[in-house]
Amino acid sequence: MTPQGAGRWDVVVAGAGPAGATAARVLARSGLSVLMVDRLVKATPKIGETLPGAALRLLGRLGLDGIAAAHHGSRAPHWPVGGSLVAWGSDVLVPTDALRDPAGRGLRLDRRRFDADLRAAGIAAGAAHRPADVVDLARAGEEWIVDLDDGGVTRAAWIIDATGRGARIARLLGCARRRAAPLIALYRTGVPERNADLDRTIIEARPDGWIYAGRLGTGRWVFGYHTGPREAARLRSSSSDQILGDAPGLEALLGAVRFDADVVALDARGSMLDTPCGAGWISCGDAALSFDPIAGQGLFNALRSGMAAAEVVAGAMAGRAEPGRYIDEMAQAARIYAARRRELYRAERRWAARPFWQGQAA
C-alpha cells in the first residue's frame, strides 16, 4: 500500500457518482489507498430516478442498508415505489405490484442526497475525495500520471473510469463507444391535481415517445418525456409550457399538472465501450455500459459494476490479474439488455410505422 499523502495512490477513481463511490468504498475497505476525483459541479442533473429493489439488496451487501431510506424516518428524501402502472401497446394502464417482485419495493430517489451519502460512505471507508476533474493522463511504466483541472498532478497504479456516459478516461485512451438510436429525455417537476401520493411509477407510450412519471420524496412529481431529437427540439421551442403533450392515461389518473420548474433535457440513449478495461484501467457504471431509461437498470449496473471493477483491481494489486470474468459479465449484461429493449419497443404496435418507434425497435 502506498502512503496517502505522497501524491501516489494505489487507485485513482475518476468520477464519484454511484459507480465511482461504490468502487472506492470496496477498494478502501480492502486496504488500498484510493483517491476519488470529481469536481461534482458538472454532474448532469438527475431528477427522480427509481432505484429498483434489486439495487437495494446490493446496498445491503455494501453494508449500506441505511442509506436508501429507513434511518431518515418521516423526513425521508426518497419515496417508496410499490409498483407501476404501464400503458404500452394499449391505452389501458396495467398495474404491477412490487409485492410480486422477489426483490421487493424500490425507491424514487433524491439523487443528490443518494450520491452524497454513497460518497460519504466511500470516505468513511478510507477513500479520499479531491474536487477536481481529470483532463489528461499518460502511462509511465507501471503507473498513471493523471492531470487534473485544478493544475495538480497525481499518480496511481490503477485508474477507474466512473465518469458516466461521457467515459472521459476511456475516451482519453482512444477507446471507441457504440451508441443506440438517439433518445432525448425532457424532464420537469410539478404537482398533479389528484392522486398526488400514489406510490407507483407511471409509464405511458405515445405516438412519438413515452412518458415516465412518479412522486418524489418532496411531494412533487417528476415527469419525463422520452422522444427523438427532432420532437424534443420542437417541444422545447414551442410556446406551450407542456412537455408531455397529449397523455390520456396520465391525465385520467392525475388530472391537470401544475409544472413548477424549467425543462431539463438529457441525452438518454444507451451506449457502451467496445472494451471495458485494459492495462491498469477499468471502467464501470455508465462509462462502461449505459442504458435507455426504460430498462430502469442504470443504478443497479452502477453499483454492481462498481463492486465488480473494484474486485478486479484489488485482485490485480494482489498479483491475480483476472479481468476476463468482468469483460464477460459486462458483455452478457449488454446482450440481455439489448434483446429485452428491442422486444419492448417492438411490443408497441400502434405506432410501429412512426419514426420514433421504428428507430428504437431497429
Question: Mask 25-44, x = binds ligand FAD (CB under 6 A)?
Answer: ------------xx-x-xx-
Q: Is 266 a binder of ligand FAD (CB under 6 A)?
A: yes
Task: Kindly provide the b/e burial profile for residues 81-115, where b requires at least 16 CB atoms within 10 angstroms of the residue's own CB.
Answer: bbbbbbbbeeeebeeeebeeeeeebbbbbbbebbb
Judged by CB under 6 A, which of 164, 209, 249, 276 binds ligand FAD?
164
Q: What is the dihedral of CA 141, 147, 151, 155, to 10 degrees?
A: -40
Q: Is 19 a binder of ligand FAD (CB under 6 A)?
A: yes
Write the CB contacts of 191 (distance below 8 Å, at least 6 apart in sequence).
219, 220, 221, 257, 258, 260
Judged by CB under 6 A, which of 110, 117, 231, 286 binds ligand FAD?
286
Beta-bridge partners for 97: 83
14 closest CA partner among 287, 300, 323: 287
Q: Is 110 a binder of ligand FAD (CB under 6 A)?
A: no
Q: Is 117 a binder of ligand FAD (CB under 6 A)?
A: no
Beta-bridge partners for 264: 187
CB of 183 to ligand FAD, least distance (A): 9
Q: Which is nearer to ligand FAD, 43 or 256 (CB)?
A: 43
Q: Which is nearer to ligand FAD, 33 or 84 (CB)?
A: 84
Binding range to ligand FAD, per CB under 6 A, among 12-20, 72-80, 274-282, 319-327: 12-20
What whole-number distance in Å separates Cα of residue 100 and Cα of residue 114?
A: 26
Question: Mask 188-227, x = binds ligand FAD (CB under 6 A)?
Answer: ------------------------------------x---
Q: Which is nearer to ligand FAD, 87 or 118 (CB)?
A: 118
CB of 319 to ligand FAD, least distance (A): 28
Break the chain down into helix, strand, coil percent, rounded to 5.
35, 30, 35
Q: Is 170 a binder of ligand FAD (CB under 6 A)?
A: no
Judged by CB under 6 A, which of 46, 188, 206, 304 binds ligand FAD?
46
Write the CB contacts of 41 (distance below 8 Å, at least 6 apart in sequence).
none
C-alpha cell belonging to residue 321: 490479474
Q: Is 268 a binder of ligand FAD (CB under 6 A)?
A: yes
Judged by CB under 6 A, which of 9, 12, 17, 28 binds ligand FAD?
17
Write the CB contacts of 217 (distance below 8 Å, at least 6 apart in sequence).
76, 77, 78, 79, 108, 110
- Cell numbers 424532464 label which residue? 187
99 closest CA partner among 53, 51, 61: 53
C-alpha cell belonging to residue 15: 468520477
What residues line the site for ligand FAD (CB under 6 A)?
14-20, 37-38, 40, 42-43, 46, 49-50, 133-134, 162-164, 166, 168, 185, 224, 266, 268, 285-287, 293, 296-300, 302
